[in-house]
Structure 1
Amino acid sequence: MKIDSLSNYQSLILYICFTCSCNFSFSQLTSNSNLKLTERIYSIWDSEPAPNRGGDFNITKARGYPYDEDWELHSYPIGNGYMGANIFGRTDVERIQLTEKTLANEGLYGIGGLTSFAEIDLEFNHNNPTHYKRSINLNEAIAYVNYKQDGVSYTRTHFLSYPDNVLVIKLSASKNGQISFVLKPEIPYLRKPTEKNTRTGYMTVNENIITMAGCIEHFSVNYEGQIKVIPTGGTLSTSQNGEQSEIKVTHADSVILLVSAGTNYRLTQAVFLEDNHSKKLDTNVNTHEKVSRIIQKASKKGYEKLKQTHIDDYQSLFSRVKLQFSTDIPNKPTKKVLTDYQEEVSNSYLEELMFHYGRYLLISTSRPGTLPCGLQGVWSQYEVTPFTGGFWHNINVQMNYWGAFNTNLAETFTPYIEFFKAYYPKAKQLATVYLKVHHPEVLAKNSLENGWTIGTGTTPYKIVGPGGHSGPGTGALTTKMFWDYYDFTRDTTFLKETGFPAILGMSQFLSKTLVSVNDSLLLVNPSASPEQKHNGDNYITAGTTFDQELVWENHNDLLKAYQVLDIKDKFKQTVEDQLTKLDPIIIGKSGQIKEFREEEYYGEIGQKHHRHISHLCALYPGTLINETTPEWIQAARHTLDLRGNITTGWAMAHRMNARARTKEGEKAHNVYSKFIKERTLPNLWTTHPPFQIDGNFGTMAGVAEMLIQSHEDYIQILPALPKAWNTGAYSGLVARGNFEFSVVWKEGKAKAIEILSRSGGICKLKYAHIAKSTLTNSTGSPIVLKSEQADLLAFNTVKGTQYYLKL
């Protein structure tokens, strides 16, 4: 968007005025309010196809294999929560790699691991393309490939529909009769029966459908995929050459390909309760019928309806939030925009694009009815995926959802709620087992009173208890998500039925891991700060800050839940008593927040520049360290300085959010900039390394955290605004209390604030001199405000009503 006659600031105001999905009015701020602007279209694109050298079994990354650099750096991802596809955009032989989130082999550690589902090759043999472009339109979640060959313009359109659970590909040309290709799918990683991760498989072709089916023996996973080819005009022929099924289309006007995939996996309690890995799944589940129904339904619906249904569904989520820092979109391939940024060419557009890309990826990987978002989202070309591609609970899975709530995508957390309900009975068993080993003296006869627990390594097939390199606080880092889901949505039904039992059970368990010291102190024992080593071994001690602070966080959230639901029981008093004896935050002799109680000076125990900043979880995502504890805030700042930013991708993202909470906008922006320069790939995926999606989501959350915070007793506007975002606007970001905000600012100062109260209640705002602002409701009626502080105001709101503040 570029408007020569308007200032950048006016352009931003008009952008918000005419593209917000809500009925906001900023006409007071500009005399050009009748000028309508088109909505900004966000895309990642390239002027060249992705290279495709394939995977190399001689290269492992994070114990995963085979490594495929071209897939990781250059392919473009689309997804619908169930499946993910990576588009290479080639014109000779196109490669589309398909992942289905429930397909798993033994993987690393014997707990199961994501593995690639299929490879789909399309032989076009177009070797001299011109006017080439491949892209993903983030506003519609559609991937395109466009080019010319021999005077004909070709277009390939790809989307993965969540409502219809099908991959749809349309091949079209500017002239009739020009679509010719051979479809050659492949079942990857077929092995001899004696080899690890054994997979059997076969292909058949019947009329215009190729079927791929087989079994991965370790978990008795039956799988099937179908590809249906629907040409308009031309001819279609099939062939079966040994194990290879092929479909050849010649001189068609256009072609639709429909792809569906599934397994016999069902997310049930039995999956986690059954210890025999070969009996976790019901082998009698008919995967063929399920996949066939999906293909048949999609065929009857037709391409245009499939596409419109997909767009309507996706945009109902993506279009909720608008965010703009810049007025110009660079007219160059995204990888070149990234290269320029890495070479110190200032570009706030890329920082803006990364935020929107994060929301696109979250919608693509986590939808109700699917498994949660794992380490690699819903994409894996590996036979053995790094770290299993699972749900790692000592920070990674939580980071995946940090931005779900404040960026208005709370529904994407639903898969984790469903996942929790399935593993919950096993988690209760694990709590009893843990307490029998470490605290048998407090083991309750009624197992329900032992609560539940969870450790780090988790997959769709197995969960584990705490221990080794991460302490029991891991479970409380998990339940923090449950309280945040309630706090942002104010869904009391969820709190009563799911959130409260989860938080209560975690407190019950954690209360039994505490050991009394001198009657005035309670310490978690044994305790560990995630993955921190000393002299080469995991450092196990008592009362690490990580465990102490997260017991505090969970206990505190439980007390708030008691109050909301007006519940009274004997355990509440236990929680209140224990809270006063946790002593969770201690400042050391270096002015640091200690990671270990026995630590005096920073770094004398453990690694000084460790990737985890677990002892700062009380700052973010927790709330114990806040503006009411200025000594702790200052110590947190100093600790972040000492820890440094030379670290992995997701660890930079945590530091970014922590800097936002300390209200250090420039330092938060610096680590975000470093993250983009050093941990962002040409396709804008982010790397640990290797590729892990938590970095994308963690920084997305960080951008929102810099623009709005609500973890204290008020909502703060632009709390960590850096100079690079001196002028800008956003709409649709959400604060706790279920308030939706839009803000316009110029030269670092807010000029207008719009608030939609989605649940009613008191709205308390903090911003410089906000008490002097004028507040009106949606009808324009002024609301009289009274405030004892210049930077704070509070007012009662009515559910469904919009409020407008002019500063």
Structure 2
Amino acid sequence: MKIDGFYNNKKSNSITLFILTLCFMLCCKLSYSQSSLNSNSELSERIYTIWDNEPAPNRGGDFSITKARGYPYDEDWELHSYPIGNGYMGANIFGRTDVERIQLTEKTLANEGLYGIGGLTSFAEINLDFNHENPTNYSRSININEALAYVNYSHEGVTYTREYFMSYPDNVMAIKLSANKKRKISFTLKPEIPYLRDSSQKNTRTGVMKVENDLITISGFIEHFSVNYEGQIKVINTGGALTATQNGDKSEITVTNADSVVLLVTAGTNYELSEDLFLEEVHNKKLDKNSYPHEKVSDLMQAATEKGYEKLKQLHLEDYQSLFSRVKLQFNTAIPTKPTKLLLTEYQADASHHYLEELMFHYGRYLLISTSRAGTLPCGLQGVWSQYEVTPFTGGFWHNINIQMNYWGALNSNLAETFTPYIEFFDAYRPKANRLATTYLKEHHPDALAKDSLDNGWTIGTGTTPYKIVGPGGHSGPGTGALTTKMFWDYYEFTRDTTFLKETGFPAILGMSQFLSKTLVPVNDSLLLVKPSASPEQKHNGDNYITAGTTFDQELVWENHNDLLKAYKILDIQDDFKNTVEDELTKLDPIIIGKSGQIKEFREEEYYGEIGQKNHRHISHLCALYPGTLINESTPEWMEASVLTLDLRGNNTTGWAMAHRMNARARTKEGEKAHTVYSKFIKERTLPNLWTTHPPFQIDGNFGTMAGVAEMLLQSHEGYINVLPALPKAWDNGAYSGLVARGNFEISVVWKNGKATAIEILSRSGGLCKLKYKGISNKNVTSFDGQAVIFNKEKADLLSFETKKGERYYLKI
């Protein structure tokens, strides 16, 4: 394990920052290669590590404890285990030396779960009995730069090393056990199938294990959705002896006196993402119970075995680092040489050292790459990790903010590819979403039904799993669908992928506007209100508050309609519905200021807090501020009211809700307040393994604050690129490279004493670049070869210039 410092004292701080700036400017003169990710990659190379000097405790799950209706709760898994993942699978590593516990999750394995719509459930437990008591020089870690996990320790004069990774290219978990002396690797592999239940019990699950030579196969059936599952664990020893034992329904492999051992793990189910899966109403017919994953799992194992550990590792590193290495971000602070849990404890007592704030950003990118890759399901509430029999809130894809928050940071932190799973998921559930729209309109707006049901558009409600989607209603209004399509528009804005816009983005946004248009009820000639309408999860007098025209619904209809009109223009499409949208857009009256000076959550609200909970976790009426764009610097009264509303709402809330507040404060350009809520989030909602908690553990907090850090350093939603728009004093000196702005511009910045000293723009799609920073119009813009670039002075703090695809541009400030 490598833990290296970067800054050591105040003197070296200023020297290092000078070197950063000098390197940045020198890099401006370097020859440019189209394949290079960042011309200023020489800024520095920090190694980010999550580590501990003790194994994770392992007391197991407790069925007497439920969290968010999930069970059994396992505190040690949640707080102390270290996660690795590849989008398909996730594993939690405990790093123990007596009996190592590796808990395995496969994202498609589901039982009935909560609400009967399916829920993630643990796949297997992999136990390695080493019987090494009282180790010395112990450490366990995750190298975030490489997505490699380690366990290192000494026992009876021998130094032992374990290396773990989860490969996306080969969809396999690989573990290598080695020692500094020959013939010292001995252990017994003892897998377990968790939560077996007979047909008389809820969440019926069967399973068997068998061992043959060096391979243990686990397989079984979960009745509710007819899920067939299989996992394989292969033991490849160099030297020593291997003994396979079948003892009833238990399978074990014992390795004795080996020089080194590699374990390979593959897993899968008969799940197939398809339109039919969501259209099928009978739960146990959603999957073909006569389809088995054996061949798929065996092929993965054979391919991984043939490649061997070193080749698998090489491919893993090439794949992972091609994503992770795109962005560098560092504040002027040293990397402490203390266990991560101790850093957290010290930060909770004194938040004056800001390394943990930097580390959390990079950890979020690590987790997103680990949970969401093309060909896998999207990232749910718990990413790709669950030790539960019944996972809290199903571990699914909740559409009144949580799934969207999971992807808020994908685009600006240069990980657009991680959004692909949601696009694939949408393509599969879209036909069912069309039917849900018709069903909803039949109930609430039968007179608005179209002759062709496809013209009713589509909709989606909150509770969604890999097996079922639902329509809006109850505690959240139809705006959940438009909160979803915002992701599609942003994906286009950041990537400028016109093929995506034409084939997926435009049809999605159009269909949502078609549906939302039919939910609008005229109040008079100048006003249209969504009815029925609800602001997510707000209650009044103990019941869900259902009304007409909540700000949540009105603002998101506006956002979707506005995005649709922009798409119409880009694709040069004209039709009658465009005229309808243009007319409706003027009649939504989405933002209203109340008598307290607040953004109203409900139209009938006068003073803040008259309806609903004053300090509610959701700030749904501020979705037009973030992730929307309606509230911005061109609407100063609304911005002022948003600031007041955030002040009134407060920060004493759940994990993901703090993350939303952080992003909202970034949009109001209140860097200090954004930093305050981020610091509070780390202190109160971050666990020793740096997972974050609702509670219980929900990964949306990790991703929401990751997005918030990027949003504080770079914004582009107001028609221009705003550099360091919400920089707090805590981050007075620093640098980043590789963050992305709308228009598909990759931005790099160095700053000192709160002021930018150098800016680089890589134009990945060409087109007009508008750049905002104080006094920027008095500076010079140069190309990669040092030539002056002609630009327009829009304002003192705003300039614009035309760019060419693939070229870099520089400003020294």
- Structure 1 and Structure 2 fold alike (TM over 0.5): yes
**Partner AA of 1:340 in structure 2:** E
Q: Does 1:300 align with 2:286?
A: no
Aligned ranges 1:135-284 → 2 under 5 Å = 135-284=141-290
Q: CA RMSD in A?
A: 1.7
Alpha-carbon displacement from aligned partner over 1:61-117 (angstroms, at most 9, x marks no partner): 000000000000000000000000000000000000000000000000000000000
Alignment partners' CA distance in 1, 2:645 and 2:611: 14
Q: How high is the TM-score relative to the length of structure 1? A: 0.98
Superposed CA deviations along residues 9-34 of structure 1, whole A, max 9, x for unmatched, are 442464587699x965599xxxxx99
Contact kept, 8 Å, 1:16 with 1:730, in 2: the verdict is no
How far apart, CA to CA, are the structure 2 residues paired with 1:567 and 1:34?
41
2:363: which partner in 1? 357
Corresponding position of 1:764: 770
The separation in 2 between residues aligned to 1:569 and 1:322, in whole angstroms, is: 45
Cα separation, 1, equivalents of 2:316 and 2:41: 31
SS of residue in 1 equivalent to 2:100 = strand
Contact 1:272 1:423 in 2 (8 A): yes
Q: 5 Å matches for 1:299-338?
A: 299-338=305-344
Distance 1:372 1:243, change over 3 A: same
Offset at residue 38 of structure 1 (A): 5.8
Structure 1 gaps, min length 5: 28-32
| Matched residue, 2:539 | 533
Contact 1:14–1:36 (CA<8 Å) still a contact in 2? no
The CA deviation at 1:327 is 3.7
Q: Distance in 2 between matches of 1:402 and 1:482?
A: 11
Q: Pairwise mapping of residues 445-524 of structure 1 onto structure 2 (< 5 A)?
A: 445-524=451-530
* Amino acid in structure 1 at the alignment position of 2:649: R
Asked whether the equivalents of residues 435 and 513 of structure 1 are also in contact (C-alpha less than 8 Å), the reply is yes
* 2:216/2:252 contact within 8 Å kept: yes
Q: 2:16 is matched with which residue? A: 11
Where does residue 716 of structure 1 map in the other structure?
A: 722
Q: How many residues align?
A: 801
User: Using the alignment, how far apart are the partners of 2:18 and 2:737 within structure 1?
Assistant: 11
Separation (CA, whole Å) in 1 of partners of 2:606 and 2:272: 50
Question: Does the 8 Å contact 2:217/2:230 carry over to 1?
Answer: yes
Contact 2:769-2:800 at 8 Å conserved across structures: yes
Deviation per CA, 1:456-513: give whole Å up to 9, x if none: 0000000000000000000000000000000000000000000000000000000000
Paired with 2:42 and 2:524, the residues of 1 have a C-alpha distance of 69
Supply the distance in 2 between the matched residues of 1:459 and 1:773 (Cα, whole angstroms).
Answer: 52
How big is the shift at 1:128? 1.6
| Residue 550 (structure 1) aligned with residue 556 (structure 2) | yes
User: 3-state SS of the aligned residue for 1:91?
Assistant: coil
Aligned counterparts of 2:479 and 2:381: Cα–Cα separation in 1: 20
> In the aligned structure 1, how far is the partner of 2:9 from the partner of 2:442?
72
The partner residue of 2:583 within 574, 577, 587 is 577
Are the structure 2 counterparts of residues 4 and 614 from structure 1 closer, same or farther at C-alpha, using a change threshold of 3 Å? Answer: closer
Give how far 1:286 is off.
Answer: 3.0
Alignment of 1:614-633 (within 5 A): 614-633=620-639
Distance 1:543 1:34 in 2: 49
SS in 1 for 2:272: coil
Given the alignment of the two structures, is residue 2 of structure 1 paired with residue 7 of structure 2, yes or no? yes
Structure 1 position 780 matched with structure 2 position 786: yes
Residue range with higher mean Cα deviation, 397-406 or 344-353: 344-353
Out of 383, 389, 398, the residue aligned to residue 383 of structure 1 is 389
Which of 393-402 and 325-334 deviates more? 325-334
Pick closer, same or farther for the CA change 1:78–1:627 going to 2, 3 Å.
Answer: same
d(CA) in 2 for partners of 1:34 and 1:530? 44
Identical amino acids, percent of aligned pairs: 79
How big is the shift at 1:282? 1.7
State whether residues 333 and 353 of structure 2, in contact with CA within 8 Å, keep that contact through their aligned partners in structure 1: no
| 1:613 aligned partner | 619
Maintained 8 Å contact 1:19/1:38:
no
Between the aligned partners of 1:321 and 1:11, the Cα distance in structure 2 is 19
Aligned-partner SS, 1:311: helix
For 2:85, the equivalent position in structure 1 comes to 79
Verify: 1:426 aligned to 2:394, yes or no: no
Letter paired with 2:259: D
Cα distance between partner residues in 2 of 1:634 and 1:406: 26
1:601 has 2:607 as partner: yes
Q: Offset of 1:277 from its aligned partner?
A: 0.5
Give the distance between the partners of 1:466 and 1:9, measured in 2 at CA.
54
**2:753 aligned to which of 747, 756, 764:** 747
| One-letter amino acid matched to 2:510 | L
Note the C-alpha offset of 1:788: 4.2
In structure 2, C-alpha distance between the alignment counterparts of 1:7 and 1:226, rounded to whole Å? 52
Letter in 1 for 2:615: H
Q: Distance in 2 between matches of 1:645 and 1:91?
A: 41
1:603 and 1:258, CA in 2 relative to 1: closer, same or farther beyond 3 A? same
Decide whether aligned partners of structure 1 residues 64 and 24 sit closer, same or farther in structure 2, where only a CA change above 3 A counts.
Answer: farther
Letter in 2 for 1:173: A
Going from structure 1 to structure 2, the CA distance change for 1:122 and 1:404 (only over 3 Å counts) comes to same
1:76-115 correspondence to structure 2 within 5 Å: 76-115=82-121
- Is 1:686 the counterpart of 2:692? The answer is yes
Instruction: Answer whether contact 1:221 1:265 (CA < 8 A) is retained.
Output: yes
Contact 1:12 1:327 in 2 (8 A): no
Describe the shift of the 1:778–1:37 C-alpha distance in structure 2 as closer, same or farther (beyond 3 A). closer
Rounded to whole Å, the distance in 2 between the matches of 1:66 and 1:286 is: 29
| Aligned pairs (5 A) from 1:729-748 | 729-748=735-754
Mind listing any 5+ residue stretches in structure 2 that lack a counterpart?
A: 1-5, 32-38
1:35, distance to aligned residue in structure 2 (A): 14
Query: What is the 5 A alignment of 1:789-800?
Result: 789-800=795-806
Alignment equivalent of 2:378, drawn from 372, 388, 394: 372
Q: In 2, Cα distance between the equivalents of 1:789 and 1:145? A: 56
Q: Work out the CA distance in 2 between the residues paired with 1:2 and 1:600.
A: 53
1:62-77 counterparts in 2 under 5 A?
A: 62-77=68-83
Q: Which amino acid aligns with 2:468?
A: K
1:175–1:37: structure 2 CA closer, same or farther, 3 Å change rule? farther
Q: CA deviation at 1:222?
A: 0.1
119 and 802 in structure 1: CA distance in 2 versus 1, 3 angstrom threshold: same
